[in-house]
Amino acid sequence: MSAIVSSAFRLAAIAGNTFRESVRQRLFLILALMAAMLGIAAWWFRNCGIVAPQTKFLLDTGFGALTFFGAVVAIVAVAESFSGEIERRTVLAVLAKPVWRGEFVLGKLAGILGLLLAFCAVGTGFLVGWLWWSQTQPTDPLARGFAGAGGASSFAVMACGLVQWLRCSVLAALTLLVATYARTSLLAVMAGFAALAICSLRALVWDAFRFAGPEWARGVAGLVGLVVPDFELYDVADQVAAGGALSTGYLVGITLYSAIYVSLFVALAVYCFRHREL
């Protein structure tokens, strides 16, 4: 068996184990339940009419839950399955087998991306289910709200789900980079949430200093703009909820943008972990 094939087997074994272990954890179940409860609450309040029309309100809430809980799952899953494994010394037994440290990092990330994909697929599936139901129940007032003029298409909702998964993947890779040298899983969690805040506010900082600030601040803003991914680019839920579609160009662009950042963060994570004392 060639070295590449056996390396792929080990990577798949680590990814599969990470996915299985994460899915079986109570925390993941609790987060999924909380997301479902938020969906039920949105359903309950759909007729209030104080926030937005029914379709937009339900999709906004659904994508909001997907984005928020997806970010929590990404950060906690990385901290638990990577930093936690170092804290519990399980990593020593794993790396005592013929496993390269890079395989361990990549396997962990692949397992977590699988977990996030499952999470986003289930959430998006619920939203698409609502749309499908609205098309088959044209006499129901709620269904009319869903299927009315300018209603979102199933394809746009699925595409939006994919975009949310890409955002979670970038966040997971960034948290993984921090976790490769964080001493505790708590530190990894805190740094993960800090990274989420920085990436979400990145556009704001960029705009504030890019053109108006002093020379040095513009330089720093430029550097931050290069290193930190801009999570505002993933905020397309409003557009989809309002009945807009996501262009193929945008989808290809955001996929490449995410792939570049994930690759960069993973490469740095592998480098850091290779030099870490266990």
Q: Give me the residues that bind another protein (CB under 8 A), please.
A: 1, 6, 9-10, 13-14, 17, 20-21, 24-25, 88-90, 92-100, 277-278
Nearer to another protein, 64 or 114 (CB): 114
Give me the residue label for tokens 């609502």: 130
**Minimum distance, C-beta of residue 174 to another protein, in the bound complex (Å):** 22
**Minimum distance, C-beta of residue 87 to another protein, in the bound complex (Å):** 9
- In single-letter form, the type of residue at position 131 comes to L
Least Cα distance to 61 among 91, 40, 84 occurs for 40
Locate 85 and state its tokens: 């494994």
Terminal alpha carbon distance of the chain: 30
**Minimum distance, C-beta of residue 34 to another protein, in the bound complex (Å):** 20
Nearer to another protein, 87 or 235 (CB): 87
**Minimum distance, C-beta of residue 31 to another protein, in the bound complex (Å):** 16
Question: Angle CA(172)–CA(178)–CA(181) in degrees, nearest 5?
Answer: 140
Nearer to another protein, 93 or 149 (CB): 93
Question: From CA 76, how far away is CA 255, in angstroms rounded?
Answer: 23
Nearer to another protein, 8 or 223 (CB): 8
Nearer to another protein, 242 or 272 (CB): 272
Question: From CA 16, how far away is CA 190, in angstroms rounded?
Answer: 26
**Minimum distance, C-beta of residue 225 to another protein, in the bound complex (Å):** 30
> Residue 39 to residues 138, 169, 225: CA-CA distances in angstroms?
21, 23, 35
- Where do the H-state alpha helices sit in the chain? 3-23, 26-44, 54-78, 84-87, 90-95, 101-136, 141-147, 154-179, 185-210, 215-227, 237-241, 248-274
Nearer to another protein, 6 or 247 (CB): 6
**Minimum distance, C-beta of residue 113 to another protein, in the bound complex (Å):** 19
